[in-house]
Structure 1
Amino acid sequence: MPEPAAANALVLDRPEVIVVDIEGTLSSTWYVRDELYPYSRKRFTSYFEEYSHKPEVARARRQIIEMAGLDSSATAEDLTGVLEAWMDEGEMPAPLRTMHALIWQEGFAAGEFVSPFFDDAIPALRTWSEQSIPVFIFSNGTLPAQRAWFSHSPEGNLIPLIKGHFSLESAGSKHEVSSFRNITHDVAEALGKPREKFLFFSDQVEALDAARQAGWDTVGVRRPGDQFYDAGVGDHPEIQRLNQVRFIRRYASR
């Protein structure tokens, strides 16, 4: 059953495609910072030592050595030191994202985590699916990390509700107009024909601005207490809960 309508409804033209950010929109940004990042920190060294044979780990090792100027004989502790320094500086280069994803996947699979969602998020995903609106995810997290997140929700595996995933590696930065144009192209290929009316939900005004410049409709999601709440969403339509949005048809179906 659809979630009951929320107060202060935002009525929009029905989109052909919905694209949703994760952190700050479907789930709290604080969970990643307070739970997942510390989990990775504790396991970087042992993961390098135990899984050095994995292609993804070997590639991350080579990238860290090159980017940090380490000797080719760098130890697991040396590699961990670089990753931790990047985290302390707020940087998120590719090898750090890779190592986070690998470690989090293992944690989710072992039952150490259940991905938290805001209480209106999963009902919204189900409602959009029931309305036959394709839903895609666009997040900075790697594709494996995204799939682990949606596979281990409080309501089980949500992957069937999602048509596809986009990441920094596959589409580009959420702050770049070109990234949203890349997604427009890739969604057309995934769905078999072009789509023109995209709707993007995010808590970050820079991402919303880029999406709008690419010709998409946008909705800013401001979750009280979450990381980017005080920054606001600029002049984009604003909601606090996804069930505030209601769609109507004002254009001919294609």
Structure 2
Amino acid sequence: MAEIFGILNITTDSFSDGGKYINPDDAIKKGVQLLQEGADWLDVSGQSSNIAANLVTEEEEWKRVEPVIRYFVPKGVRISLDSFRPNVQKKAIEAGVRCLNDITGFTYEGDREFLKTYGAKHSDLKFIIMHSHNRNIAKMKSTLSPEKVIKKIQIFFRDRRNDLTAMGISESSIFFDPGMGFFLSDDPMVSFRVLQDLEILKLEFPQLMVSVSRKSFLGNVLGNLPIEDREFATLACELHLLKNKIPFIRTHNVLKLRHAEKIWNLCQESE
């Protein structure tokens, strides 16, 4: 059974749900819903990684996520913070967060000092290394080809794994996210090549996390399908993740995935 990270974007400009949960009460209500639907983790973000999004200040990013963290952590809920800023990550750790989801793969300025101080100190802390071909936060676009993408991801993952373990972080604490969608390329076939070759990645990086939820590559191959109409396409991809036994899946619609997972497992048992 996959562990599901329920996406909770507390932003004004996330591509799928920007503005819906910017109010703390609304964000907490959504978090409760995701947990009731079967989320194992809440993946909380106060800064959108949408290519058209504006960078908010570190103070504003923390202001957005803090009420949610303060509400859920004392209740024993596992929180993953989706942030690339060490100062925000530090505050989250001090508030009890035990998973950091970094779209830069912990390559942002200030990461090394932060990781040396906090990484080895907290043995229960998890680190999600996400691959992005272009790690310029304000311009997350690239032109990777389907033929090169797996090799590029493998090289990046190896480099980041070696760097983190050299700083005293256990390899068992590191998760690996290949990115997907615009983090890889405007060409949707780059993302589909990753999905086709998941076994290659999982063989070397078994703690693989994949998020396909409502992403651009799905809409692009279906005639520029609007975001709100991508649920069926998302589910088709997520069933593929289940088939390939991906251990960690990050999604917006937890209930849909839990229902599909149950039916999928029952179908496999009957064969």
Q: Which TM class, normalised by the smaller chain length?
A: 0.3 to 0.5
TM-score w.r.t. the length of structure 1 is 0.34
RCO higher in 1 or 2 (8 Å CA, sep ≥ 6)?
1
TM-score w.r.t. the length of structure 2 is 0.32
- Structure number with greater Rg is 1
